[in-house]
Amino acid sequence: MTIPSLNPALEPPANRPTRTTERETVPTPPTSPPPQKESKRTLVGSLIRWTLFIAAGAAAWYFNPYWLPWVKTYVLHEAPPPAPRPERATPVKIAKVVPQDIPVYLNGLGTITAYNTVTVKSRVDGELINVAFKEGQMVKQGDLLAEIDPRPYQMQVDQAAGKLVHDEAALKLAQVTLARQRDLMKDNATTPQQLDQQIAIVNQAEATLQIDKAAYENALLQLEYCRITAPISGRIGLRLVDQGNIVRANDPAGLMVITQLEPIALVFTIPQDEIPRVQRRMQQEGELVVEAYDRDFKTKLATGTLTAIDNQVDATTGTLRLKAMFKNEDHALFPNQFVNARLLVDVLKDALVVPSSAIQRGPESTYVYVVQPDNTVELRTVTTGPSEGTLVCVTSGVSEGELVVTDGLDKLHPKAKVILPESQSSESRKNGAPADSSAPGAQTERAPSAGSSESVATSQYTSGNDSFRIVPLGNCLLEAT
């Protein structure tokens, strides 16, 4: 019989006997999962608590304008913020959309050219003994301009006249001799040869007489050339030769230059794309009106008519030259003067027009501010057409009779309040200020009594939360109130 060891740990496991007791083993209760009802209640409660927390936070954020000022004032003892100022109405100037005929022009840069330009030259050589004109003088055709010493040419006239008289006498003698030869021939007292000889002498005398007459007339013409007269009517420029100089016939520089100013021509260009439009208008109207303006396009100089169209387009510029004539009775146009030409090609009947100052151009469109019946403005997109002076044709976007803003546009936005000129003046009278106050917020006061010590003008200005009054009493005094 094996005696069991008193220390069970020293006993090998295989040989360790099982201990048995007669006492009944109490069974261990099995572990059961938690109840599901309690888990669901806990999850629903958490969701409700978080929902109420989020709703309370959202409500606090949404209604903070109502309770936050109260907390700042009574809890944190902060001063309440100033109340926002109401939007001030903007004084503006307006214009009415009206129908009006708008002329359509083609603009081009042109040059005034004289209708005739003459460089006056001497036809004979000699000393210039008289200058009968003043520089810049207006002359008429046939007026005396200068004289050349006529004495040499007068001698040539006298010489030609003497030769003419001499040859006339020789012709008469030859004619008398021929008559005698014919009488003698009837009586056979002379020969036919002598008669023929005398006939030839007469013919020679007649030819010599014709030469003498031509020489005499040429001498008279040379003498007449000593008097230089105006070939055309116009204005004389600066003289090129002074009195006392020896002038030569056909000198390239000449003595003076005369330009005809009445009428005068204007040569200008238009784009080649406008040629059919101009030709069609000329066929319909016959004559087209051309206006000449100064370089600034502000002053109208003259009005004329289109007279000619060039026969070819300039290939380098793609333009066509046109020529217009002007009466120029007031001499407003000068030769070689650069002007802006305007060619009338069409007239738009009863087109809606607004002042150009009302048209505003944005990055996306062109627009105007239209005044509504409640004195607010509406931004209206418009489409513009031709313009004439300060008026612009509007093809779409506005209707006849509507009011558009022309001044004070920099402070406007859609739905902005405006003060029209009539209401502005009435409101100014109520406040005791002039209607055209130069600075909004500035007010000028005067004492009622002229003898009072304060009978000087005071000015009151407002800047932020401070108000300043300037009183000029000797030295300028500045008070802050």
Does some domain include residue 161?
A: yes
Are 345 and 370 within one domain? Answer: no
Are 323 and 365 within one domain? Answer: no
Residue 385's domain is classified under what CATH number? 2.40.420.20
Are 147 and 241 within one domain? Answer: yes
Does some domain include residue 74?
A: yes
Are 267 and 302 within one domain? Answer: yes
Does some domain include residue 185?
A: yes
Q: Cβ of 140: how many Cβ atoms within 10 Å?
A: 10
Residue with tokens 């016959």: 286
Q: Render 179-223 in DSSP notation, one character per residue.
A: HHHHHHHHTT-S-HHHHHHHHHHHHHHHHHHHHHHHHHHHHHHHH
Residue 293's domain is classified under what CATH number? 2.40.30.170
Domain count within the chain:
5
Q: What was the pLDDT predicted at 232?
A: 93
Are 197 and 162 within one domain? Answer: yes
Does some domain include residue 303?
A: yes
Residue with tokens 């944005």: 362
Does some domain include residue 131?
A: no
Does some domain include residue 108?
A: no
Q: What are the two backbone dihedrals, phi and then psi, of residue 303, each rounded to the nearest 5 degrees?
A: -130, 130
Which residues form the domain of 452? 441-481
pLDDT per position in the chain (481 positions), as tens?
Answer: 444 444 444 445 444 444 444 444 445 555 555 555 556 667 777 888 888 888 888 887 887 777 777 777 766 666 656 666 777 888 999 999 999 998 888 999 999 999 899 999 999 999 999 999 999 999 999 999 999 999 999 999 999 999 999 999 999 999 999 898 888 888 888 888 888 898 999 999 999 999 999 999 999 999 999 999 999 999 999 989 999 999 998 888 889 999 999 999 999 999 999 999 999 888 888 889 999 999 888 899 999 999 999 999 999 999 999 999 999 999 999 999 999 999 999 888 889 999 999 999 988 889 999 999 998 999 999 999 888 878 999 999 999 999 999 998 888 889 899 888 864 444 433 443 333 433 333 333 333 333 333 333 444 434 344 444 444 434 434 343 3
Q: Render 352-385 in DSSP notation, one character per residue.
A: EEEEGGG-EE-SS-EEEEEEPTTSBEEEEE-EEE
Residue 154's domain is classified under what CATH number? 1.10.287.470
Question: Which of 201, 219, 247 finishes a domain?
Answer: 247
Which contacts (CB < 8 Å, 24+ apart) does range 375-378 have? 375/89, 375/417, 375/418, 375/419, 375/420, 375/423, 376/415, 376/416, 376/417, 376/418, 377/405, 377/412, 377/414, 377/415, 377/416, 377/418, 378/414, 378/415
pTM for the model = 0.56
Are 147 and 217 within one domain? Answer: yes
Name the burial class of residue 43, with classes exposed (0-12), middle (13-18) and buried (19+) by CB atoms within 10 angstroms of its CB.
exposed
Are 275 and 340 within one domain? Answer: yes
Q: For residue 87, give the 3-state DSSP assignment.
A: coil
Question: Which of 349, 373, 400 finishes a domain?
Answer: 349
